[in-house]
Structure 1
Amino acid sequence: MAATSLVVMGVSGSGKSTVAKLLAGRLGWPFAEGDEFHPEANVAKMRAGVPLTDADREPWLRTLRDWIGEQAAAGKSTVVTCSALRRAYRDLLREADADVRFVHLDGTRELIAERLAHRSGHFMPPALLDSQFAALEPLGPDEAGIVVDVADAPEDIVDAVVARLDD
């Protein structure tokens, strides 16, 4: 059986890093922060408040896909953060030779905006939240993954994900 990669997805401020780190720790799987795979040009655009285009995202997503595949080839299941807002982005990640599943951290714009307003040290400005919600395509019924409410505590979200890993 192929190694599993859990891609913790959602808009900026949904708690991807927090939940993914807890999840990786619970499972004992390697963790990768998807934002660290962005080329500097993408980071500069986001810092300037300019939404990324699909052309900007493609090399980033391919790098993430390749990392997932490399880990799987070494027999390692992984937890990765990636906004993965559009179906096409998730399709690209699913090209990895791994059992790629998605954990969509879903919440209201108001709750996530409030969290972003209190976050510091991140290059993604709160002003881009509307563009993220506009781009978000929820998981389709044929996509391997689950949707969890970000209003729940991170530990409860991790409990829910771990409970459904065998689904």
Structure 2
Amino acid sequence: MTSMNQQPPQLVVMGVSGSGKSTVGAALAQRLGVPFADADDFHPPANIAKMTAGHALDDVDRHPWLEAIGEWLARHEQGGVISCSALKVAYRDQLRTHAPRTAFVHLHGSREVIARRQASRPGHFMPASLLDSQFDTLEPLGRHEAGLVIDVDQDVDAIVQEYVDRIVAASTD
């Protein structure tokens, strides 16, 4: 991980639907002074229709979406934050083919905490019924992956501050 005094990071705020990726990602980008994008905006209409109908995306559906996200990261070499589920190591590997120094902030929470958060998001295209498939698909960050795991059962400011504190501490080690 880079310190805040070095080159701004290329970050992916990851986790299951309802973990707060978009809200935390936007707040983190603002704190770091870098652009923010929401990966939901990169989905082709067919993916949104499939999820709205209650069907989980498969790897074929995700491939062009992940390519578009990776290209966004590559265009933001001077720093950027994007929210993206990035549930599998293979998906994160695909993003790193475009932007090798990408690091991940995994927003982790129990099913109960995430379900409660999802219930407060009426009208989102990812129905709560797909939460189990998200947890089933989730692969934790591997040892080879740059990133942090942060508990989502706290407010947004506390999550952002925890990220900053941990990056500063890591840069002094």
TM-score by length of 2: 0.90
Instruction: Provide the C-alpha distance between the structure 1 equivalents of 2:129 and 2:99, rounded to a whole number of angstroms.
Output: 36
Instruction: Provide the C-alpha distance between the structure 1 equivalents of 2:7 and 2:95, rounded to a whole number of angstroms.
Output: 15
Q: Which amino acid aligns with 1:159?
A: Q
Instruction: Provide the C-alpha distance between the structure 2 equivalents of 1:34 and 1:5, rounded to a whole number of angstroms.
Output: 14
* CA-CA distance at 1:98 after TM superposition: 4.8
Instruction: Provide the C-alpha distance between the structure 2 equivalents of 1:148 and 1:84, rounded to a whole number of angstroms.
Output: 15
Matched, 1:129 2:134: no
Aligned to 1:90: 92
Q: How many residues align?
A: 164
Matched, 1:66 2:71: yes
Aligned to 2:32: 27
Q: Which runs of at least 4 in structure 1 moved beyond 3 Å after TM superposition? A: none
**Consecutive unaligned residues in structure 1, runs of 5 or more:** none
* CA-CA distance at 1:154 after TM superposition: 1.1
Q: Which amino acid aligns with 1:114?
A: R
Alignment deviations for residues 104-147 of structure 1 (CA, whole Å, 9 cap, x no partner) = 00000011111111212311000000000000000012210000
Q: Is the 2:115–2:128 contact (alpha carbons within 8 Å) kept by the matching residues of 1?
A: yes
Given candidates 37, 46, 49, the residue that maps to 2:54 is 49
Instruction: Provide the C-alpha distance between the structure 2 equivalents of 1:112 and 1:97, rounded to a whole number of angstroms.
Output: 29
* CA-CA distance at 1:102 after TM superposition: 0.2
Q: Which amino acid aligns with 1:87?
A: V
Instruction: Provide the C-alpha distance between the structure 2 equivalents of 1:114 and 1:3, rounded to a whole number of angstroms.
Output: 33
Instruction: Provide the C-alpha distance between the structure 2 equivalents of 1:23 and 1:2, rounded to a whole number of angstroms.
Output: 15
Q: Is the 2:8–2:34 contact (alpha carbons within 8 Å) kept by the matching residues of 1?
A: no
Instruction: Provide the C-alpha distance between the structure 2 equivalents of 1:65 and 1:3, rounded to a whole number of angstroms.
Output: 17
* CA-CA distance at 1:95 after TM superposition: 1.1
Q: Which amino acid aligns with 2:90?
A: A
Instruction: Provide the C-alpha distance between the structure 1 equivalents of 2:149 and 2:14, rounded to a whole number of angstroms.
Output: 9
Q: Is the 1:2–1:99 contact (alpha carbons within 8 Å) kept by the matching residues of 2?
A: no
Aligned to 1:79: 81
Deviates more, 1:155-164 or 1:123-132: 155-164
Aligned to 1:144: 146
Give SS of 1:99's match: coil
TM-score by length of 1: 0.94
Identity %: 55
**Consecutive unaligned residues in structure 2, runs of 5 or more:** 1-5
* CA-CA distance at 1:3 after TM superposition: 5.5
